[in-house]
Homo-oligomer: A and B are copies of this chain.
Amino acid sequence: MFEFTLEATCGRARAGRFVTPHGTLLTPVFAPVGTQATVKMLTPAQVEEAGATLILANTYHLYLRPGDERIRRLGGLHRFMNWPHPILTDSGGFQVFSLAATRRVDDDGVTFKSHIDGSLHRFTPEKAIAIQENLGADIIMAFDECSDPYDRAYTRIAMERTHRWAERCLQAKTRDDQALFGIVQGGIDPQLRAESARFIASLDTPGIAIGGLSVGETKEETHAMLDIVTGILPINKPRYLMGVGTPEDILQGVARGIDIFDCVLPTRLARHHAAFSSQGRINLRSAIYSDDERPVDEACDCYTCRHFSRAYLRHLIIAGEWLAGTLLSIHNIRTLTRLMEEIRQAILDGTFEQRLPEWLHRWQGNAKRKMVNAESE
């Protein structure tokens, strides 16, 4: 279980296979986000049809509502939400630090108030593992603290805490049908990032996550940190860049040796009527689409683009119809899953590096970062 096979590399880009209890993931892979045990506005059948093979669900949200114990009693998250393919859960750390009403962190854990009803709760590394074992995802995360990347002194404290917590998570873990990933932190400090990458690698978890990036730093800083971290991580384990991202950020991540991505962007943009396209991001609410018979993206093979015009989507948006969000979510997810399929094939063919500049150029108009990863879905 959790074997990772590297099939090909092209420069630092990697094509691999990661075996999980609910299926083998072909990497690089993009996971849509299903925060509350649903990829918003889509049935699992639609998520599948959009080409997704892995989804992410949020530990913090599911712990609060409907409760991880309840999900365990109901047969676990796969059965609860009818997603028979691999699932990844985060540790809850990021949400506690970005969403919870108030919080107090100490070396043992975090006490916080629910953003839903203000009730008081406490997460520790042991608790984060217990919750994730109740949920039953294939890939689970060590509890971590994500800090302001520009606060260098605190970033060290948070990183060291993250390391201690990762050890405690490994100790606490009881299920052998879940892959626990340690999380590399260290903000945008090259030395801290290198130290964190070495420490997390030393824990010998079946995969390694990179946290605390795409949270406000510049693209150059992100890329520099990725260069440092992926240069240190073992090649025989999957690397997961948390909360990324745009088509451009994914391409930059793959080029630096990342294997797994997740982001709320495709579904969140859809609810704001925006669509990825090979001509740059477009917003279907605009009156210029009122009579436009073309699909959202003529290069797309999704259900939405095969069947509906921009004029129809614009009508749905103006008329306040939910279907617009559903159709655009399908399109945006498919855009990313198709990009991943093309990337993977290019790595296998040895053409990824050669095609990268063209791809970066094609997708750059989709790369506004502001909305990305500010919080969970």
Residue positions of A touching B, CB distance < 8 A:
36-38, 40-46, 61, 65-66, 70, 73-75, 80-82, 290-291, 293, 303, 307-309, 311-312, 314-316, 318-319, 321-323, 325-327
Alpha-carbon distance between A215 and B196 when the two chains are bound, in angstroms: 70
CB distance from A353 to the nearest CB of B (A): 39
C-alpha spacing A318/B74, complex, angstroms: 17
Q: Is the CB of B74 within 8 A of A293?
A: yes
Q: How far is the CA of A75 from the CA of B312 in the complex (A)?
A: 11
A81's nearest neighbour on chain B, judged by CB, is B312
> Which single residue of chain B is at the shortest CB-CB distance from A326?
B43
Q: How far is the CB of A332 from chain B (nearest CB, A)?
A: 15
Chain B residues whose CB sits within 8 angstroms of the CB of A291 once the complex forms: 70, 73-74
A318 to B316, CA, bound (A): 26
In Å, the complex CA distance between A82 and B316 comes to 13
Enumerate chain B residues within 8 angstroms of A290, measured Cβ to Cβ.
66, 70
Q: Is B40 a contact partner of A309 (Cβ separation < 8 A)?
A: no
Residues of B within 8 A of A73 (CB): 291
Whether A318 lies near B43 (C-beta < 8 A) is no
Q: In the complex, given contacts A73-B291, A80-B312, what are 5 additional A-B residue pairs having Cβ atoms less than 8 angstroms apart? A: A40-B321, A40-B323, A41-B322, A43-B326, A82-B312
Contact B315 A37, beta carbon cutoff 8 Å:
yes
Name the B residues within 8 Å of A42 (CB-CB). Answer: 323
Contacts of A65 in B (CB 8 A): 315, 318-319
The smallest C-beta distance from A319 to any residue of chain B, in angstroms, reads: 5
In the bound complex, CA of A66 to CA of B326 (Å): 20
Residue numbers in B under 8 Å from A307 (CB-CB): 44, 82
Distance in angstroms between the alpha carbons of A312 and B312 in the assembled complex? 32
User: Would B321 and A36 count as touching, CB distance under 8 A?
Assistant: yes
* A327 nearest in chain B by CB position: B43
Complex Cα–Cα for A73 and B291 (A):
8
Q: List 29 A-B contacts (CB under 8 A).
A: A36-B315, A36-B321, A38-B316, A38-B323, A40-B321, A40-B322, A41-B322, A41-B323, A41-B326, A42-B323, A43-B303, A43-B327, A45-B303, A61-B319, A65-B315, A65-B318, A66-B311, A66-B314, A66-B315, A66-B318, A73-B291, A74-B291, A74-B293, A74-B309, A75-B293, A80-B309, A81-B312, A82-B308, A82-B312
A38 and B303 within 8 A (CB): no
Give A326 to B44 CA distance when docked, in angstroms: 12
- A81-B304 Cα distance, complex, nearest whole Å: 11
State the CA gap A45–B49 with chains docked (Å): 12
Expressed in whole angstroms, the minimum distance between the Cβ of A323 and any Cβ of chain B is 5
**Other-chain contact of A43, B38, B44, B323 (Cβ < 8 Å):** B323
**Cβ contacts under 8 Å, A314 to chain B:** 66
**Alpha-carbon distance between A321 and B37 when the two chains are bound, in angstroms:** 10
Q: Which residues of B contact A80 (CB under 8 A)?
A: 309, 311-312, 315
Residues of B with C-beta under 8 A to A66: 290, 311, 314-315, 318-319
Chain B hits for A308, CB < 8 A: 82
